């Protein structure tokens, strides 16, 4: 890996190898506050479903500020935890993964995920749904699966960062981080849709070139770019499940060209609504393990629904199997 894009590892040391000691990281304000109301069911299920490796201890910590989940996950191995269960939305999961990746692979606790956010894109991608009790059971009983993570370079005042399912710019991108939390809690997915529709009236094409890992080069005027590892992005965009694997070491690159008229816009919307991006000549859809993006002017990016700075050139890389995730066998 290019050292320029590396985040620092913590000092290595042995992890406990006996019964599971779980750190349950809960975002109490994510989604519709499900995580707080269902907490007793979650804890009960973690203990019940831990076999064949029994759960020795579950410690619950509520996050109370941005970045807190990263701090907790980064400190988990030193505190004797060999498993982390994240209960929250996509942003909370991103923070937990960032904390885990501050350690070398042999020091990273296994990760379980209980989706309790307003959109839960990653959960939709891996077929993780149902009650909090059901997803808590999977968080400790499902087979551990390798899960790819994206590495985004430093941009402006923002340091290098990881993303679990999407890095994007253009139409709809701002909706993920400008939608008020109160609206997300009250309206869930609908809040993103309402915020995203506003973009349709002010589509701004951006001249951009993309160089893929295999040497393929693309250049055009684009209104949207998504580097994804998901079948559901931003609560608005769906990708074909047959074309997406979360553990193949490849991203899906989706680029939407500038529609010149209503007919172009209709063709784009039809392809997106029918989940057939390959059928539309105004959409570029590729698989790649890394991509270098060059833009004519500084452009704001979003990572997993959070603002990630503004830049004119970035190289985004896939870290294959960076995290061991217990969720369900559909990854």
CATH number at residue 44: 3.40.50.10330
- 85 vs 96: CA distance, rounded Å: 9
pLDDT of residue 95: 95
pLDDT of residue 5: 43
- 34 vs 125: CA distance, rounded Å: 20
Across the chain, mean pLDDT equals 81
Report CA Rg, the chain.
20
Residues 165 and 105 in one domain: no
Please count the structural domains in the chain: 2
Residues 47 and 188 in one domain: no
Residues 35 and 121 in one domain: yes
pLDDT of residue 201: 46
Residues 127 and 172 in one domain: no
The answer to the question of residue 330 being in a domain is no
Residues 299 and 256 in one domain: yes
The answer to the question of residue 329 being in a domain is no
For residue 170, what are the contacts with CB-CB under 8 A and spacing of at least 6?
204, 206, 222, 223, 224, 225, 256, 299
- 103 vs 112: CA distance, rounded Å: 17
| DSSP-assigned letter for residue 72 | H
pLDDT of residue 233: 67
The answer to the question of residue 253 being in a domain is yes
Encode pLDDT of 49-80 as tens digits.
866 678 889 999 999 999 999 999 999 999 99
Q: Phi and psi of 36, rounded to 5°? A: -75, -45
- Please, are residues 139 and 114 in contact by the beta-carbon 8 Å criterion? yes
Residues 170 and 267 in one domain: yes
The answer to the question of residue 36 being in a domain is yes
Residues 65 and 206 in one domain: no
- 204 vs 222: CA distance, rounded Å: 8
pLDDT of residue 234: 56
The answer to the question of residue 317 being in a domain is yes
pLDDT of residue 329: 54
Cβ atoms < 10 Å from Cβ of 206: 17
Residues 14 and 99 in one domain: yes
Encode pLDDT of 208-233 as tens digits.
999 999 999 999 999 889 999 988 76
Q: What is the pLDDT along the chain (331 residues), one digit of tens a residue?
A: 333 344 544 544 555 446 889 999 999 887 655 556 688 889 999 998 866 678 889 999 999 999 999 999 999 999 999 999 999 888 899 999 999 999 999 889 999 999 887 667 777 777 787 788 899 999 998 888 899 999 999 887 788 899 998 999 887 655 444 445 554 444 444 444 445 445 544 667 899 999 999 999 999 999 889 999 988 765 567 788 888 888 999 999 999 898 888 888 788 878 877 888 889 999 999 999 999 999 999 988 988 878 888 889 999 999 999 999 987 755 5
Q: Which H or E element spans position 197?
A: helix 189-200
57 token code pair? 């201890």
3-class DSSP assignment, residue 139: helix
Residues 195 and 262 in one domain: yes
CATH number at residue 209: 2.60.200.40
83 token code pair? 């498993």
Residues 184 and 305 in one domain: yes
Residues 110 and 205 in one domain: no
- 162 vs 303: CA distance, rounded Å: 8
The answer to the question of residue 60 being in a domain is yes
89: left (phi over 0), alpha (psi -120 to 50) or beta: beta
pLDDT of residue 271: 83
Residues 134 and 241 in one domain: no
Cβ atoms < 10 Å from Cβ of 9: 12
- Please, are residues 91 and 102 in contact by the beta-carbon 8 Å criterion? no
3-class DSSP assignment, residue 93: helix
Residue ranges making up the domain that contains 87 = 3-147
């Amino acid at each position: 890996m290019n050292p320029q894009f590396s985040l620092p590892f913590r000092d290595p040391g042995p992890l406990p190898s006996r019964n599971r000691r779980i750190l349950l990281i809960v975002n109490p304000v994510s989604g519709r506050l499900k995580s707080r109301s269902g907490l007793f069911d979650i804890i009960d299920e973690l203990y019940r479903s831990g076999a064949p490796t029994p759960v020795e201890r579950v410690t619950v910590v509520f996050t109370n500020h941005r970045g807190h989940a990263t701090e907790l996950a980064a400190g988990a191995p030193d505190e004797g935890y060999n498993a982390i269960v994240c209960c929250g939305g996509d942003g909370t999961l991103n923070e937990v993964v960032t904390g885990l990746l501050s350690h070398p692979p042999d020091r990273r606790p296994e990760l379980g995920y209980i989706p309790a956010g307003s959109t839960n894109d990653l959960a939709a991608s891996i077929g993780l749904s149902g009650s909090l009790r059901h997803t808590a059971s999977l968080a400790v009983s499902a087979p551990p699966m390798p899960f790819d993570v994206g590495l985004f370079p430093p941009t402006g005042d923002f340091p290098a960062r990881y993303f679990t399912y999407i890095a994007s710019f253009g139409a709809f991108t701002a909706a993920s981080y400008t939608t008020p939390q109160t609206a997300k809690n009250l309206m869930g997915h609908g809040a993103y849709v309402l915020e995203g529709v506003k973009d349709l009236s002010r589509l701004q094409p951006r001249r951009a070139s993309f160089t893929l890992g295999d040497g393929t080069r693309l250049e055009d005027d684009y209104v949207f770019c998504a580097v994804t590892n998901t079948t559901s992005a931003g609560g608005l965009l769906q990708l074909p499940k047959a074309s997406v694997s979360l553990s193949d070491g490849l991203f899906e690159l989706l680029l939407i060209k500038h529609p010149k008229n209503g007919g172009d816009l209709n063709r784009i919307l039809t392809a997106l609504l029918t989940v057939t991006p390959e059928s539309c000549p105004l959409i570029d859809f590729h698989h790649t393990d890394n991509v270098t993006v060059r833009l004519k002017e500084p452009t704001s990016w979003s990572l997993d629904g959070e603002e990630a700075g503004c830049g004119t050139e970035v190289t985004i890389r896939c870290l294959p199997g960076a995290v061991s995730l217990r969720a369900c066998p559909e990854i």
